[in-house]
Amino acid sequence: MTRLLRSVMILVIIILIIAGLNTSNQGNNILTAEARKSVFSIKIVDKNLEVVALGEEYTYSGRELIQDNRQAIYKAQKLLHSISNYFKRIWTIFKVLVLE
């Protein structure tokens, strides 16, 4: 419970720091009449994900993200299956050598 609480508190602190940096950046833009982009922002426009990080803008296609996500899930399932089989073989060897 405390580990989860700590993780949530750290996440909240990071979000507050990012919000503060974005607010400060917006204030600087107003004072200097510059048009700098946000420190960090995420928005969805026309099924595309637009991420702004440190003033650089990155656009990701929604379809590509879904396809990459499916591939990552498939690879993770395959890896977990092979790990499970590996432990089953080790358990079988252990039972034969030690328990019998």
Structure tokens at 26: 């917006």
- Domain borders along the chain are 1-36, 37-99
At 1, the pLDDT band (50, 70, 90 cuts) reads low
Inter-residue contact 62 to 48 (CB < 8 Å): yes
Give pLDDT tens digits for 14-28: 888 877 777 777 777
75 confidence band (pLDDT: 50, 70, 90) = confident
Q: Compute CA 31 distance to the chain's CA centroid, rounded to the nearest angstrom.
A: 34
pTM: 0.44
Highest mean pLDDT of the ranges 22-26, 59-63, 71-75:
71-75
Rounded Cα distance, 85 and 96, in Å: 17
